[in-house]
Structure 1
């Protein structure tokens, strides 16, 4: 599908002018971002509480789930894993693009791109899909890196969990540009504007026991992030 069709749970109700309808824009955001946050309600020792965790991820727009698949990387020893399978979860991805300085504290803001995906996750058990998902997650950090690595061991696979979440129930908002001040605030003469932000990567630092310099793909990724 090319158009985001939010359900009631993902319908934007505040600052609706910032809502993004194009699914391609959301996929572009998911391609740019490196960290997602997973929200899940955990039950431990009879106590229920929410948890929000940073998590590595990758996207397969043509994956087997409805409207594509969001793959989430975790540990089989994580306490949240079982809870994430017992109820719907919420995954958010945000990129901060700037700070907006207005002429009043109320009108200060941030420029951002943010997506919300809600749904029921499943454990990826199929060996072929799991290998594909793990390669996608590695390549999401450094494109092409997975092909240069040895296969994971049985022990590593036993310790690694991969969850898949459908991309169907999703929404996105974004803000860009300068402040939106009231006319009387503009007349005050206070400076207003915005401060663009971008992620900066420094040159790769080789491990002390590395056999050679950073390969071309790693250097290229650092330059792209910078």
Structure 2
């Protein structure tokens, strides 16, 4: 496990004991999800855009339409903040003030780089696809040259990042533990449902049973 020193920008200020700067924790959280939120500012106006991603080592790949305002600005080297959050439970305390949530989150700061090499771009798209639905990439028609041209892929470094994690039961004031009020944790998880076939699916095509959503 490698412990990275937090930068001044990623140092956890509020409840610092929940901060974690190890690559093991940061990578683990990133690998357990596939949806991030990208924050950036253009002409003084802040934007926060949700998008899918895939991790490869110390790089987070994001992609979208070449006409995307977010990607067009990020490829210029605009400072960005990328966040990923996994909600694990609602913490129900005896006092309203001490209600909380159990969560795992990562905050990354930096600038993105445009992926221009065609082979690297294809590989980045495979990584993103496999993070969302492992195994799907090998079963579909791969992007052609025109589709690649219409798609922008950016590489975001994971070298300035921090994780923040809360686990466990509520932390009530000592005098409240004797109250006749139920307290504990309501676990939450995002679970895939039953697949719904495309109405235009050809007959005789069965779903691949190994498909699973990349959620942990």
Structure 1 length normalisation: TM-score? Answer: 0.88
Segments ≥4 residues shifted beyond 6 Å: none
Which residues of 2 match residues 92-111 of structure 1 at below 5 A?
92-111=83-102
Give the Cα separation in 2 of the matches to 1:168 and 1:86. Answer: 16
Give the Cα separation in 2 of the matches to 1:166 and 1:6. Answer: 15
Q: Is the 8 A contact 1:145 1:217 kept in 2?
A: no
**Equivalent of 1:76, from 59, 66, 72?**
66
Instruction: Report the CA distance between 1:171 and its aligned residue.
Output: 0.2
**Equivalent of 1:55, from 28, 51, 54?**
51
For structure 1, which segment, 165-174 or 188-197, has the greater mean C-alpha deviation from structure 2 after superposition? 188-197
Q: Partner residue of 2:154?
A: 163
Q: Partner residue of 1:190?
A: 181
Give the Cα separation in 2 of the matches to 1:4 and 1:52. Answer: 26
Instruction: Report the CA distance between 1:29 and its aligned residue.
Output: 1.1
**Equivalent of 1:112, from 94, 103, 112?**
103
Q: Partner residue of 1:3?
A: 3
Structure 2 length normalisation: TM-score? Answer: 0.92
Which residues of 2 match residues 9-28 of structure 1 at below 5 A?
9-28=9-28
Give the Cα separation in 1 of the matches to 2:168 and 2:137. Answer: 38
Give the Cα separation in 2 of the matches to 1:4 and 1:210. Answer: 49
Q: What is the DSSP-based 3-state SS (H/G/I as helix, E as strand, rest coil) of the residue aligned with 2:192?
A: coil
Instruction: Report the CA distance between 1:37 and its aligned residue.
Output: 0.2
**Equivalent of 1:217, from 193, 210, 214?**
210
Higher helix residue share: 1
Q: Is the 8 A contact 1:4 1:22 kept in 2?
A: yes
Give the Cα separation in 1 of the matches to 2:209 and 2:191. Answer: 18
Q: Quote the RMSD (CA, aligned, Å).
A: 1.7
Q: Is the 8 A contact 2:114 2:153 kept in 1?
A: yes
Q: What is the count of residue pairs matched by the alignment?
A: 213
Q: What is the DSSP-based 3-state SS (H/G/I as helix, E as strand, rest coil) of the residue aligned with 2:9?
A: helix
Q: Is the 8 A contact 2:21 2:161 kept in 1?
A: no
Q: Is the 8 A contact 1:70 1:167 kept in 2?
A: yes
Asked whether 1:179 is paired with 2:170, we answer: yes
Q: What is the DSSP-based 3-state SS (H/G/I as helix, E as strand, rest coil) of the residue aligned with 2:135?
A: coil
Unaligned runs of 5+ in 1: 62-67
Q: What is the DSSP-based 3-state SS (H/G/I as helix, E as strand, rest coil) of the residue aligned with 1:27?
A: helix
Give the Cα separation in 1 of the matches to 2:143 and 2:46. Answer: 32
